[in-house]
Structure 1
Amino acid sequence: MTLNIRAMAPEDTPYGLALSQQVGWPHRLEDWQQSLALGRGLVAEEGGRIVGTTLYWPWGEGSATVGLVIVDPDCQGRGIGRELLSQTLEALEGYNVRLHATAAGQPLYRQFGFVAVGSASQHQGIVDPSFTAPTPGSGTRLRQGGEQDGAPLTALDCQASGLYRPQLINLLLTQGRVLVLESDTGEPLGFAALRPFGRGHTIGPVVCSNEEDARALVGAFMAQRRGKFVRLDCDSALPFCDWLTRQGLSEVDAPVMMVCGKPWLVKAGSPRTFGLMSQAMG
């Protein structure tokens, strides 16, 4: 049968959901819909049936992320993933591209020039009913984020990740829950978002300058979710991962971060990412 690669449309998301369920990923239909609304996607069709997907997000002019690269298990080994990735990278020509790779996907990505630059620890679990949130550091305080925070939080996120994502930040401010860490004078120093995802809620992005601030931001949301499921994806190299483990959020997976192009390096003194939006979107 002829393989047809075409742009993903909103009505394709239930078929993407079915594929992700086949490979054991926890996404809900709403997660697929949000992911496509923020980016673009391709589907592979064969005999009128969707047998593969990939989504990609150009963030600004120079950096992009790729995710939800899935091929029906019954159709794997026939080059479908290769064709999807090839056309995705054609659409992202000139971009530095990042993704998080499963062990099965790494050989394919290496063939397209991706190199491993680290890994992301997927921490999750039920928050202890007795969990107590750490207090924000001296000279700082937490408050609820609002639509007026779009520009400063976008700037903090871009400094930390190299990804210019105003549409993502504004979506989180209007549809999710966002906490802003600010100085006593009202200067935004960091932020974190909480939103429904998969089996429960995920915390991310988490952007701030140090682990003390990350604990305050994440801990505040964990205190809201006592006795409930929470997930957070964090750079495996950060000691913050050890704190998450001690709080009962165990590491259950650690996909490899891979880059095609120039890796992003956080400048000294800049905020950094302590929690990803998602493994797909970075």
Structure 2
Amino acid sequence: MGKSVRIKSFELVAQDISDVDVHLLHALSAGVGWPHRPADWEFLRQVGEGIVAVDEIGRVFGSAMWFQQSEDFATIGLVITTTRSQAQGAGRWLMAQVLERCKVSNLALNATKAAYPLYLSLGFEHEATVFLNAGKVSAVPELGPAQGSLGKLPVSQIDEILDCDSQGFGVNRAPVLEKLAETSSICVLRRDGKVVGYSMRRPFGGLR
């Protein structure tokens, strides 16, 4: 697909996402109701690569990112288009640019309901349904002896969760976890002294 695309009267080209003002990215995600703050965009640009679709005066009409998880596996995310360009082929064009730039054969992504048909048409296959839950935790249930024990993990001991994460995710993504740990509190589940599960909690979201 070409290096540029015409959306109505706008000629859009792909630009490296690192070269764009983070507040323009924030405005893009806020415009479609996504909660990412400028700080969240900054973090994503540190751990991934991406492009934006911009017109001749630098207005941002869309974005797409990919995150290298291993030598031959990457995840795709932050595929966003403005409401005015959603039905004009901008999403498909952005994905074509990503597939050309991301030189790995194994790719995965989470799709919104609206974008699901697009990804199927690009050759992606359905694997599972992901449920996103939001709310306040009123209390943490107590665990019985057979279930294990919960405890906080210092950032300095991040290596303790890497094997557990690799088994669950399928690849070693230590660089991303180490970066996440800088602003997260980590809780681990241990059985017989071994980490068998973990969670990270960090600030995220809000339209301020």
Q: TM-score, normalised by structure 2?
A: 0.85
Residues 167-176 or 57-66, more deviating: 167-176
User: Structure 2 counterpart of 1:3, which letter?
Assistant: L
User: Structure 1 counterpart of 2:196, which letter?
Assistant: L
Q: Is 2:18 the counterpart of 1:9?
A: yes
User: Structure 2 counterpart of 1:83, which letter?
Assistant: W
After superposition, what is the alpha-carbon deviation per residue over 1:11-32, rounded to whole angstroms, capped at 9, x for unaligned?
A: 4322121111111111111111
Alpha-carbon distance between aligned partners in 2 of 1:126 and 1:10, rounded to the nearest angstrom: 37
Q: Is 2:140 the counterpart of 1:141?
A: no
Alpha-carbon distance between aligned partners in 1 of 2:104 and 2:65, rounded to the nearest angstrom: 17
**For 1:253-268, what aligned pairs fall within 5 Å after superposition?**
none
Corresponding residue of 1:39: 48
Q: Is 2:133 the counterpart of 1:123?
A: yes
Q: Is 2:60 the counterpart of 1:50?
A: yes
Corresponding residue of 1:168: 176
Corresponding residue of 1:179: 187
Q: Is 2:83 the counterpart of 1:85?
A: no
Q: CA RMSD for the aligned pairs?
A: 2.0
Percent identity between matched residues is: 32
Higher RCO, Cα 8 Å, sep 6+: 1
Shift of 1:132: 3.1
- Bigger proportion of residues as strand: 1
**For 1:111-260, what aligned pairs fall within 5 Å after superposition?**
111-127=121-137, 131-138=138-145, 140-184=148-192, 186-199=193-206
- CA gap of 1:14–1:59, structure 2 versus 1, over 3 A, is same
User: Structure 1 counterpart of 2:153, which letter?
Assistant: G
Q: TM-score, normalised by structure 1?
A: 0.64
User: Structure 1 counterpart of 2:139, which letter?
Assistant: T
The size of the alignment, in residue pairs, is 196
Alpha-carbon distance between aligned partners in 1 of 2:206 and 2:171, rounded to the nearest angstrom: 27
Q: Name the SS for the 1:108 alignment partner.
A: helix
Alpha-carbon distance between aligned partners in 2 of 1:106 and 1:62, rounded to the nearest angstrom: 24
Asked if structure 1 preserves the Cα contact closer than 8 Å seen for 2:74 and 2:104, the reply is no
User: Structure 2 counterpart of 1:95, which letter?
Assistant: S
Alpha-carbon distance between aligned partners in 2 of 1:188 and 1:36, rounded to the nearest angstrom: 30
User: Structure 1 counterpart of 2:18, which letter?
Assistant: A
**Unaligned stretches of 5+ in structure 2?**
1-9
Q: Name the SS for the 1:73 alignment partner.
A: coil
Corresponding residue of 2:4: none
Corresponding residue of 2:109: 99
Alpha-carbon distance between aligned partners in 1 of 2:182 and 2:144, rounded to the nearest angstrom: 27
Corresponding residue of 1:28: 37
Residue of structure 2 aligned with 1:61, choices 71, 84, 109: 71
Shift of 1:114: 0.8
**Unaligned stretches of 5+ in structure 1?**
201-282
- CA gap of 1:2–1:164, structure 2 versus 1, over 3 A, is same
User: Structure 2 counterpart of 1:162, which letter?
Assistant: G
Alpha-carbon distance between aligned partners in 2 of 1:152 and 1:61, rounded to the nearest angstrom: 23
Alpha-carbon distance between aligned partners in 2 of 1:110 and 1:143, rounded to the nearest angstrom: 41
Alpha-carbon distance between aligned partners in 1 of 2:85 and 2:19, rounded to the nearest angstrom: 23
